Amino acid sequence: MSMGSPLEATRASDKMKIFISHPHEDLDVAAALREAILELDRGLIDVFLDQSHIAEGKQITPTITDALTGASFFIGVGTDATRGPYAWCGLELGYFLAIERHSSPSVVCLFHDEVPDVFHPYRNVKLVSLSPKHTTEFSTDVFAVDQAPLTNFFKNLSNQFNKMFPARDAGEFFNRALDWQKKSAVAVTEAYFKCLQTRVAEVWYPQKRLEIQIPNRPEELSEIPDDACVVIGNAAYSVLNLGFPSGSGDFVKRSWPDFCRLVVRQSGGEHLPRILSEIVGSVLPFASDPQNDLVFLAPNQKRYRVVLVKHQLYGNGRRDFIFNLIETLKPVGGGDQKSTMLTAAIMLASQYRSVFLEKDARYGRGRFDDMGEEDLILQIKQMLKDLQRINFDAAEEGFNDVSALVTLLGESEAVKALFARWWPPLNTLEDAATAFSMEPGAETRAALIRAHNTFLDVSDTVNHKFMSLCLRTYQRLIDTREGIS
């Protein structure tokens, strides 16, 4: 399509020459960019794209260097800015800049997340959301097409073209160029978006993906704020024992409070939000070694490792945390179910006793009294994590359910009494530990010590009674099978 240029190019040197550099996985983006640029004027623009120009059997290096020598415009495309500078276009850019020209060369890079290192000194064009579906990969705000940086890039390119080849009818050229700019921005944004979506599907879906996006914050953070957004991948929805909402594309976005309510509704507890909060909190504001790889029992009755695989901090203060939910191996089965459950119950009760109640236990009586503030915060965070793991193991074996324990142990009233005594002081301890870690001080410390001592008092009695019930039941089971009355 001609934009009303005054002449046809008769030699290659008469054309506007553009070189597009890209890694192989971004070919679709580069091809969409090339097609969009050629739509400005196919007779007067030459766009070099290696897949289009390098014929079978032709040497790559001379072909590329010839194209770089003749080009005045260099456009880089790279959806993965973590690559080394020489992994895909560093050499091409270096060669392009080393060529002596009468006019200054123009270098531009299209990016969506991070600008590749080699392009930092140059003009870069950020891809932004042009429709709500794009927000999973680009900006959380949706831009009007005429306000997008990519549209402005095409505007500048059409202005450069008009300087080189002045149109006979400036008004007609301007109107056509305006439509072309918007159309091209939409086409290239869509190609870029699809490229990212395809890669996300290949990399993340098998592991079930969750992403927490914290908006731009100039101040330091210590926890996940309410205006954070949780992006839930299609496969991750099954972890919550839910069907993926129809018409939602590949991801669903929920606010952090809404996500927490959803998990509580599906699972009856806040185990997953607590794990995510703990991992994120261990990273904020600047730590690089998170408390990672925690395990939870999901509403679909499977166990998953929660692994933080990427934490990204942007210049404007925005943070992204990407988690994989990886299903753990199932416990070994077989044997008599009742004896297996009793053995597991005794082992869990013993494990708990060794951590809290035995002599020199890590979280035993008096262990917190003389600790410094920072050491105490670290200790209680570890205590909460250990409690959580023990409770997860108990939940998986069915020991958090009163009816299941009554079936296993009998003595309905005794089991119910144990549950009634156990949970209130545990919840009080967790609340007091959280309050101290968030606002350490004399008052919150005293409340923590009181809650800890009360919890140990109750736990000693409950643990002893639970162990006795398990051992007595196990002994009866053995005696019955051996014919002992």
Q: Which of 420, 421, 406, 401 lies closest to 469 in space, CA to CA?
A: 406
Half-sphere exposure of 89 (CA within 13 A, CB side): 30
Residue 329 confidence (pLDDT): 52
* Residue 332: pLDDT band with limits 50, 70, 90: very low
| Alpha carbons 449 and 100: distance in angstroms, whole number | 74
pLDDT at 317 > cutoff 90 = no
pLDDT in tens, 339-385: 777 777 787 788 778 888 887 788 888 888 888 888 888 888 878 87
Which amino acid appears at position 303 of this protein? R
Residue 454 confidence (pLDDT): 94
> Contacts for 267-270 with beta carbons within 8 Å, 24 or more apart?
267/240, 267/298, 267/299
Q: Which helix H or strand E contains 111, and what residues bound it?
A: strand 106-111
pTM (two decimals): 0.45
More confident residue, 80 or 312: 312
* Residue 27: pLDDT band with limits 50, 70, 90: confident
Q: Which of 397, 37, 5, 347 lies closest to 188 in space, CA to CA?
A: 37
Among 128-137, 272-281, 319-328, the minimum mean pLDDT is found in: 319-328
pLDDT at 11 > cutoff 50 = no
Query: Could you give the 3-state DSSP secondary structure of residue 46?
Result: strand
pLDDT in tens, 275-299: 888 888 877 766 556 666 677 777 7
Cβ neighbour number for residue 276 with a 10 Å cutoff: 25
The pLDDT of 225-236, averaged and rounded, is 86
Residue 177 confidence (pLDDT): 94
Q: Which of 75, 50, 30 lies closest to 195 in space, CA to CA?
A: 30
DSSP characters over 208-272: -EEEEEEPP-SS--SS--TT-EEEEETGGGGGGT-PPPTT-TTEEEEEHHHHHHHHHHHHSS-HH
pLDDT at 482 > cutoff 70 = no
8 Å CB contact between 4 and 168 = yes
Residue 315 confidence (pLDDT): 61
Which DSSP state fits 399? T
Assigned token pair, 61: 């290096």
Instruction: List the 294-297 sheet strands across, edge first.
Output: 251-255, 229-233, 209-214, 319-327, 303-313, 294-297
